[in-house]
Structure 1
Amino acid sequence: MNPFLLAAQRLLFSSLVTIIRAMPNPRALRGWCLLMAAGMRPFGGGWRRLVRRNLRLVYGDTLSVGQRRAIVRGVFEHSARGFGELFWRPEEHRLTVAEWCRVDGLEHLDAALAAGKGVLLATAHIGGWTLLPRYLNERGCVTGSLLRLPSNPVAHAAQAAAVSRMGLTFYNTPLSRDNAHACLKLLRSNGILFIVADRRSNDVKVDFLGQPAWCATGTASLHLRTGAAIVPAYAVRAGTGHRLVFEPALEPLASGDRKADELAITAQLHRIFGGWIRQHPEQWMWNHNRWRPRRHEMRG
């Protein structure tokens, strides 16, 4: 990368993070993030086209013009607020994550932990999803997170530093052999491994929001290998705060055919994710080419 461009990006990132961390409360943070979103929109033509294309694919002609516009606007706001929430530290403003959030279904997580085989906390890129591991860490749970940091070196370094400052243990994906062993060790010690599981991958194709999509089987594979419970959980924004929801653990029936079981569990998870997204479409990442086919399919 051009060194001058790299320096400019570092300065921009540093300035934005400094402003974000100075916000005195969640209301001020939300206001600043909405300003950032407004500043992003004039330069987001590619995002708008991709969001509209994905909405047509999933919803066809069932959305009104107003609904489509609200979701497109929400994608920019969701992205800006996610950026701000990643770098804003509530403890610097005498606020805990628990005070910033309403939490439902915690008994489901506790029941899964009581089984003693660890928990795979599976979520999607919806709402303030980064607050889930932060809340659990604050609660004193032993956690680790699978994260895919940005390829841009400035964003990569800034986000890695932010996550480390939160006191979170994270493993950048794709996993190295050492990190894969660390994840297994965490689960076997009854820890919680946080996985954002709605990313595109080339593992298997399942139905996602009514369309065939290539999806990752990592969550299913870890469950079959360790017996760790799979607990779906999500976070959605509500005003200046958040609602964190822990759902009952999945109860998959093992058939003895590992590939078939991975496919069934992955399909079940994506049905659950699809339900969340349909309830809160403006808070999901429609700006990703999630239904892109594999190369051999495009050639065919």
Structure 2
Amino acid sequence: MAKNPKQTLPLGKRAVLFATNAVVYGLIRLALMLPYAVRVRWVGTFFSSVLGPVAGFRSRAMQHIAHIYPDMSQGERKSLASACLNNFGRTLIENYSTKDMLSRMHDHEITGPGFHALKEARDADRPVILVTGHFGNYEATRAALVSQGFAIGGLYRDMSNPYFNAHYVKTMEAFGGPVFPQGRKGTAGFVRHLKAGGQLVLLFDQHVFHAPVMDFLGAPARTATSAADLALRFDAALIPFYGIRQDDGLGFETTLEAPIPHSDALTMTQAMNDSISARIRTNPEQWFWVPRRWRPDQI
């Protein structure tokens, strides 16, 4: 039997992670007592002005921004990093506001040629892999699709803080559709869902050790070909999608791009990178610049 990840950590590390989760989850519970619009704005501001700088998130984001935009001034990088953290905070509390989000996205307009392709695949019992990144709020589009009768599942990577991960997974499950953890057991369930003609979400914009190096925002970055491999293996439609935050900070444009043509895994994955890179260049403040997309040897 696999050990609980909490039990494999040193006592001191467990104490730090437990305390961190207690603070963050306490703030989430406090925020959930506020009216929806107030809580979203408040958590966004808290992340950008307090938690982000104190936790080192803003400095890390600025490092990544400098890697991609070397000619950007320090002040501009700081401003972009703060806007990114604001979106990060808003996304976090939105995803804990399951009932509110599902209500707001009910019968929400879904645009783009990929939506028609998704409906055609569903009617033909053909599996679909919906791919996106940590941009805008990816769960907004899943909520919109669920409200229109789609059972959109997902494959997720466990967070490094197991205490936080335990309740965050529940928020993903609450949006509808099965969710599967990365690993042998989760992948098996993921594959069964695909074989049955299901629709699943994959976030692909994270560093994966030993993955091929590809172009991402004009810089080399390791990118897993998993989504393309699965699409080819199960003849699944591969459709990029985005939940793009609007100027009011609360609404979203939910769009599905045209399916990526089947060819080979590297070509298809590069097309995925190109898709999200175009979105980031248009709205750089909506991408999560904090995770280590590039490792030190690449910066």
Query: What TM-score do you get using the length of structure 1 for normalisation?
Result: 0.84
**C-alpha distance in 1 between matches for 2:188 and 2:291:** 30
**C-alpha distance in 2 between matches for 1:243 and 1:172:** 28
Paired residue for 1:78? Answer: 87
Gap change, CA 1:194 and 1:4, over 3 Å in 2? closer
Paired residue for 2:165? Answer: 156
Gap change, CA 1:9 and 1:51, over 3 Å in 2? closer
Structure-to-structure mapping, 1:1-300, within 5 angstroms? 1-2=11-12, 5=16, 8-25=19-36, 27-37=37-47, 38-44=49-55, 46-61=56-71, 63-64=72-73, 67-91=76-100, 95-98=103-106, 102-105=109-112, 106-173=115-182, 175-176=183-184, 178-201=185-208, 202-238=210-246, 239=248, 240-253=250-263, 261-292=264-295
Q: Are the aligned partners of 1:119 and 1:192 in contact in 2 as well (CA < 8 Å)?
A: yes
Per-residue deviation, 1:125? 0.6
Gap change, CA 1:118 and 1:52, over 3 Å in 2? same
SS in 1 for 2:57: helix
Q: Are the aligned partners of 1:74 and 1:282 in contact in 2 as well (CA < 8 Å)?
A: yes
SS in 1 for 2:27: helix
Gap change, CA 1:53 and 1:7, over 3 Å in 2? closer
Letter in 2 for 1:78: N
Deviations 1:102-130 (A, max 9, x none): 53123242234345321000001101112
Per-residue deviation, 1:148? 1.1
**C-alpha distance in 2 between matches for 1:17 and 1:123:** 25
Q: Are the aligned partners of 1:108 and 1:246 in contact in 2 as well (CA < 8 Å)?
A: no
Gap change, CA 1:268 and 1:293, over 3 Å in 2? farther
Per-residue deviation, 1:146? 0.8
Q: Are the aligned partners of 2:102 and 2:175 in contact in 1 as well (CA < 8 Å)?
A: no
SS in 2 for 1:199: coil
Q: How many residues align?
A: 282
SS in 2 for 1:54: helix
Q: Are the aligned partners of 1:133 and 1:145 in contact in 2 as well (CA < 8 Å)?
A: no
Deviations 1:39-63 (A, max 9, x none): 214404x3333222222221221x3
Per-residue deviation, 1:77? 0.6
Q: Which moved more, 1:195-204 or 1:103-112?
A: 103-112
Q: Are the aligned partners of 1:232 and 1:247 in contact in 2 as well (CA < 8 Å)?
A: yes
Q: Are the aligned partners of 2:228 and 2:269 in contact in 1 as well (CA < 8 Å)?
A: yes
Q: Which moved more, 1:218-227 or 1:71-80?
A: 71-80
Gap change, CA 1:7 and 1:217, over 3 Å in 2? closer
Q: Are the aligned partners of 1:52 and 1:72 in contact in 2 as well (CA < 8 Å)?
A: yes
**C-alpha distance in 2 between matches for 1:288 and 1:146:** 18
The percent identity for this pair of structures is 25
- Structure 2: unaligned runs, 5 residues or longer: 1-10
Per-residue deviation, 1:66? 5.2
Deviations 1:137-175 (A, max 9, x none): 2322122101112121221112022223334411111x2
Gap change, CA 1:278 and 1:10, over 3 Å in 2? closer
RMSD: 2.5
Q: Are the aligned partners of 1:58 and 1:209 in contact in 2 as well (CA < 8 Å)?
A: yes
Deviations 1:177-232 (A, max 9, x none): x3323222212222111000111112211111111111111101101110000010
- Structure 1: unaligned runs, 5 residues or longer: 254-260
Gap change, CA 1:248 and 1:6, over 3 Å in 2? closer
Q: Are the aligned partners of 1:235 and 1:244 in contact in 2 as well (CA < 8 Å)?
A: yes
Query: What TM-score do you get using the length of structure 2 for normalisation?
Result: 0.84
Q: Which moved more, 1:101-110 or 1:69-78?
A: 101-110
SS in 1 for 2:277: helix
Gap change, CA 1:121 and 1:179, over 3 Å in 2? same
SS in 1 for 2:32: helix
